[in-house]
Structure 1
Amino acid sequence: MASGGLSFRNITALAPMVRVGTLPMRLLALDYGADVVYCEELIDIKMAKCQRVVNEVLDTVDFVAPDERVMFRTCEREKDRVVFQMGTADPDRALIVAKLVEQDVAAVDVNMGCPKEYSTKGGMGAALLSDPDKIVAILQKLVSGVSIPVTCKIRILPSLEETVSLVRRIEKTGVAAVAVHGRLKEERPRHPLHLDHIQAAARAVSIPVIANGGSLDLVKTNSDIEAFRRASGASSVMLARAAMWNASVFMEGGPLPLEAVMEDYLKHAIRYNNHAFNTKYCLCQMLRDKVESPLGKQLQAAQTTQEISEAFGLQEFYQQIQDQLQVKRNSLQSCSQLEEPLVEGDVTMMAVRFERREYPPHITPKMFLLEWSRKEKLEQPLYEMVQRSEDRSFQSTVTVESKKYRSTLWEKSKKFAEQAAAVVCLRVLGVPEGRIGEEDSGLVCKRKLNGTAEEEGSKKRHVFETQQEADSAASGDSTKSQKL
């Protein structure tokens, strides 16, 4: 590490890879010797809507979208090594996202090389290569706007002169490094790498150039990394597929047997509650041509993290982690319930934030408050919403039996603000609120099934889902990251 920030000289990095560069893979790469790890490309429009949430159960920082998906999860272990890569085509929006994550990552990177449609759509990724003025505008905005290093990752242009001209313009923006994938935006891994372009770029600028694209032909073991660096003339090397197939490529004296690497990866995925479908995807990438083996077929059939754990003989480890996490949840719940309410005028308040991960799927405090009100033959709870102009946050007040309840904390969405108000009301009244681990309340629940609200039988009690059931309930959307 250089003083004042992350150094990109003489490093070996885990490259940004969509669906692969999530927290478990990044931690695995660090375990095996990677100096720097990049997250997968995350789109600025989606990230700008996220709320930063400290997850005290997992000891992580989560960036949570309004639909409750965890878009980016990080932890203290990687804080001074992780580079946040974004897809953007707008300088102002890029800065908003960079400032959102600034305190939790070591650097921010702009993707200017991805040729896939999801990235090039809207002028992002490799589409930026045809607009050098926009590249400069984005990078200058970021360099002047955040306190951490800024980098970018590009693909080469049709001629050496064009590639050199671009990296020289990039250098003048003040970035800390530039990664160069030695292929044209139209080319794919089966095409040969253009080492001459990386060499020319490295000679043309004084900032570190990170060579990328050598996984298939040039880097198969750890000893090949240094050879690739020398052949490219670059300061550093970035690995994608070689690391995806077996992350122990970063380890001197490696690689380790694939089975050991997969188990190490799965343990990180279990510890940090990675979404089961993302975990399964990454493990299948490691299996490659063995995906039709007995283990591969068992893995493909798995729908939950527990089932994946069973396929690898890690069911005891899985249960041990679940027990530890439940103890932490219970402890945090007990601490939060000790807070005393404050009465101001006709409103009773508590400093309560609605944490979706603390409740089973389909269960919310609002639902419990509504059913309790019906049971007590009271009027339906009435919610009043206000919005704070400076940051557009929301605060809700709920009225029940002519009494008002409100959280003193502001939320990023109307829905969460109403849930927080309901939590305050339920806690003041001493009524169950539906948290995971809470004793059966006997309250009737309502669920929306196929777009219609159907009331379950009055004698049917609410049954809280276990962690594995919650995992299964989330498995319908393979792109969602599960929260605790």
Structure 2
Amino acid sequence: MGSLPFRLMAAEYGADITYGEEIIDHKFLKCERVTNESLGTTDFLERGTDNVVFRTCPKERDMVVFQMGTSDAVRALKAAQIVCNDVAAIDINMGCPKSFSISGGMGAALLSKPELIHDILTTLRRNLDTTVTCKIRLLNTRQDTVELARRIEKTGVPALAVHGRKVKDRPKDPAKWDEIADVVSALSIPVIANGDVFEYDDFKRIKDATEVPCGTPQFFVPKGKKPWEDVKREYVRKSILWENDLKSTKQTLKELIMHYSCLELPEGKGINKCDTGADLAKLYGEEDYYNFVVSNRN
């Protein structure tokens, strides 16, 4: 999941579907849809500001999934109606374990509320022409996970994503691919497996273990992954081209670095010191590209 530049890069590397970052329904209800003529994008701006909450473009219309955090069916529907005509699907995040999400009754808090899950999904499906899906985590027992998955399937959603960790698990804990496999065998709809896909070879391993695919941008390259330096520079160029939020761009770069190195090294420290897009372009040797894009934009 990620911002527009990250999603477009994933698509170029072979992804069939891409996910936006989770956006809370309360926040999205404060947004207005604006056509950005200079970029050729559709922007959802926080009303009365220039703050871009979600940005998309026609190029990804048939593959981008809008991921939403919610705890209320009516509110979720109102938020979905704002964006449903600009995306391929609406996905309800029912797996986020972060405190802000759980305290608001969203994310993993929904796992213990199957009636509310049913209400949210059926309300969206009955009132939208857009595809509706959701993502869950593993529950405490295999049987509980399978039973919840079956209840979700009965709402009529065409697919279900399963993250192979429980709420109490930390990112460093190994994903339980075998428990995802239990869900796959119990359902007739497609299951999207998620968790511990870091390299291209992991893509095949999780597919073999669960019989479903999953991945992140460079893992879709059939001939193997590109050098990290090429991936980062390409992401920086796309972030410049699409005027991606600087904070978002820096965070994504740091996450990429953590896959193979340490943020305490000069590159990581350099990212933290960047206050503008020009600073970031200079750090990655993309000054000429930055100046070209900015001059043509003006």
Secondary structure class of the residue paired with 1:189: coil
Q: Say which of 26, 47, 60 aligns to 1:66.
A: 47
Q: Say which of 59, 72, 88 aligns to 1:106.
A: 88
Q: Which amino acid aligns with 1:227?
A: R
Secondary structure class of the residue paired with 1:58: coil
- Structure number with bigger Rg: 1
Which residue in 2 is equivalent to 1:262? 232
In 1, are the aligned partners of 2:206 and 2:213 still within 8 Å (CA)? no
Structure 1 residues 196, 287: closer, same or farther in 2, change over 3 A?
closer
In 2, are the aligned partners of 1:54 and 1:62 still within 8 Å (CA)? yes
Which residue in 1 is equivalent to 2:208? 230
Corresponding pairs, count: 295
In 2, are the aligned partners of 1:277 and 1:303 still within 8 Å (CA)? no
Q: How many Å apart are 1:124 and its aligned residue?
A: 0.3
Which residue in 1 is equivalent to 2:169? 187
Map Cα deviations across residues 117-164 of structure 1 (whole Å, 9 max, x no partner): 121122100000010000000000011111121110000111111111
Distance 1:173 1:163 in 2: 16
- Residues 155-170 of structure 1: pairs in structure 2 closer than 5 A: 155-170=137-152
Q: Is 1:52 matched with 2:33? A: yes
Secondary structure class of the residue paired with 2:285: coil
Q: Say which of 208, 224, 242 aligns to 1:272.
A: 242
Q: How many Å apart are 1:302 and its aligned residue?
A: 1.2
Runs of at least 5 residues in structure 2 that lack an aligned partner in the other structure: none
In 2, are the aligned partners of 1:82 and 1:106 still within 8 Å (CA)? yes
Map Cα deviations across residues 286-332 of structure 1 (whole Å, 9 max, x no partner): 22234333333332211100011011111111011111211xxxxxx
Q: Is 1:93 matched with 2:71? A: no
In 1, are the aligned partners of 2:94 and 2:136 still within 8 Å (CA)? yes
Distance 1:39 1:51 in 2: 17
Which residue in 2 is equivalent to 1:27? 8
Distance 2:195 2:164 in 1: 6
Q: Which amino acid aligns with 2:14?
A: G
Q: Higher helix share goes to which structure?
A: 2
Length-normalised TM-score, structure 2? 0.95
Secondary structure class of the residue paired with 2:133: strand
In 2, are the aligned partners of 1:208 and 1:236 still within 8 Å (CA)? no
In 2, are the aligned partners of 1:82 and 1:105 still within 8 Å (CA)? yes
- Residues 96-175 of structure 1: pairs in structure 2 closer than 5 A: 96-175=78-157
Q: How many Å apart are 1:221 and its aligned residue?
A: 2.8
Q: Say which of 259, 268, 272 aligns to 1:296.
A: 268
- Residues 303-452 of structure 1: pairs in structure 2 closer than 5 A: 303-326=275-298
Runs of at least 5 residues in structure 1 that lack an aligned partner in the other structure: 1-15, 327-484
Which residue in 2 is equivalent to 1:354? none
In 2, are the aligned partners of 1:91 and 1:137 still within 8 Å (CA)? yes
Q: Percent identity?
A: 44
The one of the two structures with greater contact order (alpha-carbon pairs below 8 A, sep at least 6) is 2
Map Cα deviations across residues 384-417 of structure 1 (whole Å, 9 max, x no partner): xxxxxxxxxxxxxxxxxxxxxxxxxxxxxxxxxx
Distance 1:236 1:98 in 2: 27
Q: Is 1:221 matched with 2:221? A: no
Distance 2:32 2:168 in 1: 36
Distance 2:102 2:243 in 1: 31
Q: Which amino acid aligns with 2:63?
A: R
In 2, are the aligned partners of 1:85 and 1:111 still within 8 Å (CA)? yes
Secondary structure class of the residue paired with 1:236: coil
Distance 1:88 1:63 in 2: 18
Map Cα deviations across residues 200-245 of structure 1 (whole Å, 9 max, x no partner): 1111111101111122xxxx43233122112013x332x3xxx3xx
RMSD: 1.4
Q: Which amino acid aligns with 2:207?
A: R
Which residue in 2 is equivalent to 1:284? 254
Q: Which amino acid aligns with 2:9?
A: L
Q: How many Å apart are 1:193 and its aligned residue?
A: 2.1
Q: How many Å apart are 1:67 and its aligned residue?
A: 4.7
